[in-house]
Amino acid sequence: MVREGHDVICVDNYFTGAKSNVAHLLGFSNFEILRFDVRDPLRLEVDEIYNLACPASPQHYQLQPVRTIETSVMGTVNLLRLARETGATFLQASTSEIYGDAQVQPQSETYYGHVNPIGPRSCYDEGKRCAETMCFDYHRQYGVRVKVVRIFNTYGPRLSPADGRVASNFILQALRDKPITIYGDGLQTRSLCYVDDMVGGLAAMMDSNDDVTGPINLGNPDEHTIREIADLIMSITESKSKITFGPVPEDDPQKRRPDISLAIEKLNWRPTVDLETGLARTIGYFRRQFSMDMPG
């Protein structure tokens, strides 16, 4: 967006983000950064809002569950009010967690989900579900232009080494020849989408016609078991790590694969980076970034 000449205001409270991730943009006069928490009301002149606020890693969002649900609920209401005042188009980063431990495979947008409302993941799942509800209520009652995308597991360069999710955990463990920590038997599945593909999907959604409100799934339908992801990362890194099996996190979804027919039809979008290529790029990033404390 900066390259395309948009005026971009990046808002972050750095709960899970890092200034170093946007350091390369600081020299551009059309880029500004604001340390701010969207749980507080924000007044700005804007014409597009991408609401990506909220930690997305289970380890992070469960660390401070109240803050997590407040970020999705209060943050979304504050930004929807801003959209209403300014006439901005509002894009909500929703999530595959809307579907919970899904009982249908793959998940399409018509599935209402299977979510535990009081479990350790619910601060995230129910916060995001409430945020979706508010988007459609602001749309129906006040005519706010809303666009809701449900993002499936996304990975790539600039993931925090402390992120705690599967891609960065396994990559760091493999590069350091440390044990690969599979939770459970590793037969649970995820479908990982490379970050550049996801960014393209978000932009395509923002640029879509006003009648495209979503929700629309964005993700890569290429489904793998966690064990397969571990094996692939170990083979790309030529790691000497051993696999270990630990306890399964409570309410861990067993299967996850997006049905992206709607994204293909409405946005003419589909992912183009396959898992091996995306992982190789991400591994390259982690090697460069953290080469100091790695063997060899």
Q: Which residues bind ligand UDP (CB under 6 A)?
A: 57-58, 153, 165-166, 169, 181-183, 188, 190, 226, 249, 252
State the DSSP code for 10.
E
C-alpha dihedral sign at 173, 19, 97, 263: negative
Smaller CB separation from ligand UDP, 27 or 117: 117
Inter-CA distances, 12 with 7, 146, 208, Å: 16, 21, 26
Rounded Cα–Cα distance for residues 211 and 208 (Å): 8
Smaller CB separation from ligand UDP, 71 or 78: 71
Closest contact distance (angstroms) between CB of 152 and ligand UDP is 8
User: Pairing between strand 223-225 and 189-191?
Assistant: antiparallel
Structure tokens at 128: 């995001």
Smaller CB separation from ligand UDP, 10 or 102: 102
Closest contact distance (angstroms) between CB of 61 and ligand UDP is 9
Smaller CB separation from ligand UDP, 84 or 178: 178
Rounded Cα–Cα distance for residues 138 and 84 (Å): 8
Structure tokens at 272: 């183009």
> Active-site residue among 50, 61, 99, 124?
124
Examine the residue annotation and report whether 111 is marked as an active-site residue of this protein: no
Closest contact distance (angstroms) between CB of 141 and ligand UDP is 32
> Which residue is nearest to ligand UDP, using beta carbons?
165
Rounded Cα–Cα distance for residues 59 and 171 (Å): 17
Closest contact distance (angstroms) between CB of 190 and ligand UDP is 5
- Active-site positions read 124
